[in-house]
Amino acid sequence: MYKDPSYFIQGVLDNNRLTLARTITLIESTLQTHQDIARNVISELLPHTGKAVRLGITGVPGAGKSTFIESFGNMLTGRGYRVAVLAIDPSSTRSGGSILGDKTRMEKLAINDMAFIRPSPSGGSLGGVARKTRETMLLCEAAGFDVIIVETVGVGQSETTVASMVDFFMVLQISGAGDELQGIKKGVLEVADAIVVNKADGDNVTRAKLAKKQYETALHLVTPSSPNWSPPVMTCSALEEIGLEEAWETIKQHKKIMSATGELDEKRKDQAMSWMWFLVKEGLENWFYNNEEIKKVLPTITAAVESGKKAPTRAADELVSVLGSDLLF
Amino acid sequence: MAQNPNYNEWVEMATKQMKGKSPDTLTWKSPEGIDVKCLYTAADIEGMDTVGSLPGMAPYTRGPMATMYAGRPWTIRQYAGFSTAKESNAFYRRNLAAGQKGLSVAFDLATHRGYDSDNPRVAGDIGKAGVAIDSIEDMKILFDGIPLDKMSVSMTMNGAVIPILGMWIAAAEESGVKQEQLNGTIQNDILKEYLTRNTYIYPPAPSMRIVSDIMAFASKNMPRYNTISISGYHIMEAGADSVLQTAFTLADGIEYVRAAIASGMDIDTFAPRLSFFFGIGMNFFMDIAMLRAARFLWHRSMQQFNPKNPKSSMLRTHCQTSGWSLTEQDPYNNIIRTTLEAMSATLGGTQSLHTNSYDEAVCLPTDFSARIARNTQIIIQEETHTCKVADPLGGSYYIEYLTNQIVEKAQEILDEIEEIGGMSKAIESGMPKMRIEESAARRQARIDQGSDVIVGVNKYRLENEKLDFDILEVPDSVRIEQIERIKEIKSTRNEAETQACLEAITKAAEGNGNLLEVAVAAAKARATVGEISDAMEKVFGRYVATTQCVSGAYSSEYSEANAESATVIEDFRKRTENFLEKTGRRPRILVTKMGQDGHDRGIKVVASSFADLGFDVDISPMFQTPDEAAKMAIENDVHIVGASSLAAGHKTLVPELIEKLKAQGAGEIGVVAGGVIPPSDYDFLYDNGCKAIFGPGTPITTSAGKVMDLLEAQYIK
Ligand code: B12
Ligand SMILES: Nc1nc2c(ncn2[C@@H]2O[C@H](COP(=O)(O)OP(=O)(O)OP(=O)(O)O)[C@@H](O)[C@H]2O)c(=O)[nH]1
Ligand SMILES: [Mg+2]
């Protein structure tokens, strides 16, 4: 690993593929020494960020997110945009390892020189994803990518986390046996800037149209997150490349309105703020777990809670007070 | 029928022999989930509808012919092809002279995937894993001196089936043989390509139309020709157990029947020409029963289409012994394995058979290894007297029980597939592929921890092994030769005519003209395989597979074996965890397949099990060029790339990958290789910078351990 921040900074600004890739690795590293360099790199690069369209895409496994990005990304590069894709893959809670197969569904985009795709393991902790993805997004912006797409599978809180760091959040759905709404969480509807029903092709077109109606009805029951934008429902076929144009128009339209009303600026300010608080929380947490005293007492206290010998409330008090006495020194 | 009156006495005796334990504890659960007891009696098969028929009569459980081998033995049909058409032709002729009865052509991977030999994507593949065919001129050389009106020719072709079959028909016509005289089989089974064999070109819908076009053409013009060989062999070799093989193969068959009926054909015009292809492994009795079960089930499944001709529901099949069961270690053991499997196939009543050579896990067969393989069959036919009786095992309690179990279990899966909406939909859903791959990962785990024994690999392994036989190596000059010939053909043909024929193909693809018919004309006009394929690709597009990967199967099968095995997994996870603590991230490996090599069983097993051991595993799309693989390695910033190579492209592709990485400043990303790489090539690869090589039979724990050694040495100071 390279120690000199300027290696990374210069490489990213030059849009050197190799260095950009290595800088992402640096950011993702769990080592404190790497994190120190990473902080440095990010703050140097921050002035070069903010110009890209930040797009988040979520959806159930198999909804066609990767296929959509393959078609959509190639369409955009065809128009001269440079596209970066960050795909988050779940890590196994058992082994810690992961299978990162996104590029098998983005075959053409993966070898497209105008595109950069980086799959990342979620690494077990969602908090981790939040920081890494946000910072990786900034790196890609600094490297000059025009559109940045974050793909995340809809598990746990990951969608809302990603929604909180992008300009436009798209929920990809598929039509199924009729009770589509079962598959969508209310929280996700609230943060969606558009719902796109994918796989509207072949003998599936009518079903997709039906699903579209259902989502439209469902969206009426949700208060939109923006006074200036009511999230549309669209259909598309990622495979047959139908409806991609409309999706792009919608995103551009959204950006136009959000910029004109000043909401985009507001949103990004909010995001910066929540990023700060996130880092504070993460810092506190790190500090907690790395505290020598905590490391010493943690196993006994957790064991006591597990066996029911100690109440969780009591245990938490004790742990925090360990920090407290540490602070007195 | 009641239980044998002496049964209780037997139980007592057995319990005594077991020192008081019940004989039930001897029951073995087969990979298919069938409980195999240590004794079967008449009571076990009482009332079964699978028992009691006669050979040659519906439901054909006991064989499609009345006298079976007593009348005529099965056809010895060896699958072969390599290098140029000329070399392969000479090889065929030598084999026919030595007692082989039918021909079976193996094409190289460039041809399979519809590329001409001069296409840069296939530089490492020409003539390596089969014979290179670019045009009708090659086809004519391939069959030079072989009477196509008499010799039955089987061709394993699925992706580029339109140009290849077109060229074969055209070549026959140019040598004076009429279409109606042609006799043989084209594999033309596209569904299993998406599932396991991976030489598809177009997406499923147009590919299914191609299948129907061929059936329609042949039912009109080639009455003696088998238009499809519905193949379970590849499904088994990719990891399926015998029940999965039966179910998925028959489900494919049903799908083709539906497609043909939907295209307007009458069931009795094509169903009698459907043929099957099964794989026979080392589970001796199971696979005898499998063939019997498959015939019963096919007959039953076909009734829904109301055939009038009895032949429409009669399953006739070719078989091949399992290549997967053959080892690089102690390779002469393979002759014994193949003999047993050949016995199993013939006791099960196959109509033709391919037996593998002992050098299967090393290279394509040489004249010598092919001779031993062929003689295996000749000896069974001529010396053992096993051919004197039809279905000699019919009525065996155990065989009949197994037959029935396979019927029941396969039917359950068939029902499940119907529920999904048929095999095309099931394949789309990913269900069959995942089942096969899970089965493969579990198998690997059982071998790695020793519960499935493979002699010479995980038991009685030789200490110092050195291959002492000749290896067939296809020289790179084949590519140059092929390119020269393409140039010559293109410069001497009537270009306007060729282009008109190609346009006719594109038109037929857009509309509904018969694609085979126009391809025969294009072949005569000297259009190449690549050109004909492209003419259709313009309309159909090229299919890209979606790769899914099972997780957890390897470690769970491994850990469940015993406490000691569980520790192996746990210890390994600690090792990857330690790497994470020391270096800031998990060991990250890109596993990739370069060239047109479509063998993905190994790489899937490696990916899935490495992830189970705590690696972050990137999987590349199939069919990468070294350049593309390098780009992916760099972007994903992996520690190491693992190239899996089974189709003899390793000497070109692996060094090129290492070069490409270096050229882009990523020399620190190491490269290891695995797959069918002859030991004599190891030094060449090491000299070119390959860090480690893992041949067939390497336990995952060994290869993963070696990869960790390399990474720890490089990154943990
Ligand atoms: C199974 C098989 C098939 C299956 C493949 C199913 C699938 N989806 O994978 C089917 C039946 C479809 C098939 C078809 C063909 N096959 Co085939 N096949 C085999 C066979 C019998 C076993 C391969 C296998 O899967 N083994 C099990 C896996 C787990 O082992 P593995 O891949 O070797 O991986 C292990 C190690 O090598 C290592 N490893 C491998 N890669 C990596 C990577 C990393 C990173 C690491 C750490 C380790 C590692 O770890 C694994 C675990 O031990 C071999 C012969 C043999 N016994 O090896 C022939 C073989 C590879 N096939 C061969 C040929 C020619 C073909 C065809 C091209 C024939 C034709 N002309 O049509 C076709 C086309 C396939 C294609 N599209 O490429 C030849 C290749 C000849 C050569 N190299 O010179 C072989 C060697 C047989 C022979 N002697 O003729 N085949
Ligand atoms: N018919 C049809 N199939 C599609 C379409 N988009 C994707 N698919 C198929 O759906 C399957 C899943 O697609 P992916 O793109 O991998 O889905 P994903 O949402 O990225 O999946 P994960 O990353 O596993 O969560 C694949 O088999 C695709 O070919 C579409 O528009 N139409
Ligand atoms: Mg995806």
A100 touches B at CB < 8 Å: yes
Is A95 close to B636, i.e. CB distance below 8 A? no
Is A99 close to B584, i.e. CB distance below 8 A? no
A117 touches B at CB < 8 Å: yes
Nearest in space to B78 (alpha carbons), one of B472, B348, B371: B371
Residue B612: its chain A contacts at CB < 8 A?
A: 92, 94-95, 97
- Bridge partners (DSSP) of residue B280 are B321
CA–chain centroid gap for A196, Å, is 18
Instruction: Say yes or no: CB of residue B364 within 6 Å of ligand 1.
Output: yes
pLDDT at site A1:
58
Of A18, A28, A92, the CB nearest to B585: A28
A118 touches B at CB < 8 Å: yes
- Ligand whose nearest atom lies closest to the CA of B189: 1
Question: pLDDT tens for residues A226-259?
Answer: 889 999 999 999 999 999 999 999 999 999 999 9
The residue annotated as part of the active site, out of B597, B600, B618, B681, is B597
Query: Which residues, at least 6 apart from A76, have a Cβ–Cβ distance to it below 8 Å?
Result: A83, A146, A147, A248
CA–chain centroid gap for A270, Å, is 16
Instruction: Return the ligand 2 atom nearest residue A67 CA.
Output: 15
Query: B449 to chain A nearest CA, in Å?
Result: 19
Protein residue closest via CA to atom 24 of ligand 2: A61
Residues of chain A with pLDDT under 50: 177-178, 326-329
Residue B202: its chain A contacts at CB < 8 A?
A: none
- Taking the centre of ligand 2 as the mean of its atom positions, its distance from the CA of residue A67, in whole angstroms, is 5
pLDDT at site B288:
98
Query: A264 to chain B nearest CA, in Å?
Result: 30
DSSP-assigned letters across all residues of B340-408: HHHHHHHHTT-SEEE---TTTTTSS--HHHHHHHHHHHHHHHHHS-GGGSSSTTTT-HHHHHHHHHHHH
Residue of chain A whose Cα is closest to the Cα of B546: A105
Nearest in space to B320 (alpha carbons), one of B381, B396, B376: B376
Query: Which residues, at least 6 apart from A283, have a Cβ–Cβ distance to it below 8 Å?
Result: none
Three-point CA angle B335, B341, B346, nearest 5°:
125
Of B610, B619, B664, the CB nearest to A97: B610
Lowest-confidence segment of B227-231, B266-270, B426-430 by average pLDDT: B426-430
A204 touches B at CB < 8 Å: no
Note whether B576 and B708 are within 8 A (CB): yes
Note whether B570 and B622 are within 8 A (CB): no
- Taking the centre of ligand 1 as the mean of its atom positions, its distance from the CA of residue A157, in whole angstroms, is 42
pLDDT at site A328:
42
Protein residue closest via CA to atom 11 of ligand 2: A62
Residue B551: its chain A contacts at CB < 8 A?
A: 92, 99
Query: Which residues, at least 6 apart from B438, have a Cβ–Cβ distance to it below 8 Å?
Result: B550, B553
How much is the average pLDDT of B217-234?
95
Q: At what angle do helices A263-290 and A126-142 cross, to 10 degrees?
A: 130
Protein residue closest via CA to atom 6 of ligand 1: B238
Residue B631: its chain A contacts at CB < 8 A?
A: 17, 110-111
pLDDT at site A177:
47
Q: What percent of chain B has pLDDT over 90?
A: 93
| Candidate of B164, B363, B364, B676 to mutate for ligand 1, largest count of ligand atoms within 8 Å of Cβ | B676
B571 touches A at CB < 8 Å: no
Of B584, B613, B666, the CB nearest to A95: B613
Determine the Cα–Cα distance for residues A114 and A108; give it in Å rounded to an integer.
11
- Taking the centre of ligand 1 as the mean of its atom positions, its distance from the CA of residue B676, in whole angstroms, is 7
- Ligand whose nearest atom lies closest to the CA of B78: 1
Question: pLDDT tens for residues B280-309?
Answer: 999 999 999 999 999 999 999 999 999 999
Residue B545: its chain A contacts at CB < 8 A?
A: 104
- Ligand whose nearest atom lies closest to the CA of A172: 2
Of B552, B615, B621, the CB nearest to A104: B621
pLDDT at site B606:
97
The residue annotated as part of the active site, out of B37, B40, B44, B79, is B79
Determine the residue among B631, B660, B715 to mutate to test chain A binding: the one whose Cβ has the most chain A Cβ atoms within 10 Å: B631
pLDDT at site A257:
95
Q: Chain-wide mean pLDDT for chain B? A: 95
Instruction: Say yes or no: CB of residue B598 within 6 Å of ligand 1.
Output: yes
Q: Kindly report whether the global pTM for this prediction surpasses the value 0.90.
A: yes
- Taking the centre of ligand 3 as the mean of its atom positions, its distance from the CA of residue A118, in whole angstroms, is 12
DSSP-assigned letters across all residues of B22-62: -GGGG-EE-TTS-EE-S---GGGGTT-TTSS--TTSTT-TT
Residue B604: its chain A contacts at CB < 8 A?
A: none
How much is the average pLDDT of B500-527?
97
- Taking the centre of ligand 2 as the mean of its atom positions, its distance from the CA of residue B536, in whole angstroms, is 25
Confidence tier at B391 by pLDDT (50, 70, 90): very high
Question: pLDDT tens for residues B362-390?
Answer: 999 999 999 999 999 999 999 999 999 99
Hey, how many other C-beta atoms are within 10 angstroms of the C-beta on A219?
18
Q: Is pLDDT of B443 > 50? A: yes
B414 touches A at CB < 8 Å: no
Determine the Cα–Cα distance for residues B265 and B172; give it in Å rounded to an integer.
27
| B599 included as an active-site residue | yes
Determine the residue among A103, A140, A153, A174 to mutate to test chain B binding: the one whose Cβ has the most chain B Cβ atoms within 10 Å: A103
Q: Of chain A residues 17-46, which have a CB less than 8 A from chain B?
A: 17-18, 21-22, 24-25, 28-31, 34
Residue B275's SS3 state is: strand
Determine the residue among B616, B617, B619 to mutate to test chain A binding: the one whose Cβ has the most chain A Cβ atoms within 10 Å: B616
Q: Is pLDDT of B97 > 60? A: yes
How much is the average pLDDT of B135-146?
97
Instruction: Return the ligand 2 atom nearest residue A89 CA.
Output: 23
Nearest in space to B459 (alpha carbons), one of B470, B446, B441, B474: B446
Question: pLDDT tens for residues B562-598?
Answer: 888 889 999 999 999 999 999 999 999 999 999 999 9
Residues within 5 Å of ion ligand 3, judged at the Cβ atom: A 65-66
How much is the average pLDDT of B192-207?
95
- Bridge partners (DSSP) of residue A195 are A171, A233
For A253-272, letters b (16+ CB in 10 Å) and e give ebeeebeeeebbeebeeebe
Instruction: Say yes or no: CB of residue B600 within 6 Å of ligand 1.
Output: yes
| B597 included as an active-site residue | yes
Determine the Cα–Cα distance for residues B193 and B204; give it in Å rounded to an integer.
10
Q: Among the residues of B541-600, which ranges form H helices? A: 553-561, 563-583
Determine the Cα–Cα distance for residues B307 and A186; give it in Å rounded to an integer.
53
- Bridge partners (DSSP) of residue B77 are B102
- Taking the centre of ligand 3 as the mean of its atom positions, its distance from the CA of residue A64, in whole angstroms, is 7
- Taking the centre of ligand 3 as the mean of its atom positions, its distance from the CA of residue A258, in whole angstroms, is 29
Q: What ipTM was reported for this prediction?
A: 0.90
- Taking the centre of ligand 1 as the mean of its atom positions, its distance from the CA of residue B328, in whole angstroms, is 12
Residue of chain B whose Cα is closest to the Cα of A23: B637
How much is the average pLDDT of B132-150?
96
Question: pLDDT tens for residues B405-421?
Answer: 999 999 999 999 999 99
Note whether B682 and B693 are within 8 A (CB): yes
Determine the residue among A36, A107, A145, A203 to mutate to test chain B binding: the one whose Cβ has the most chain B Cβ atoms within 10 Å: A107
- Cα dihedral A252, A254, A257, A260 sign: negative
Of A30, A34, A92, the CB nearest to B580: A30
| B318 included as an active-site residue | no
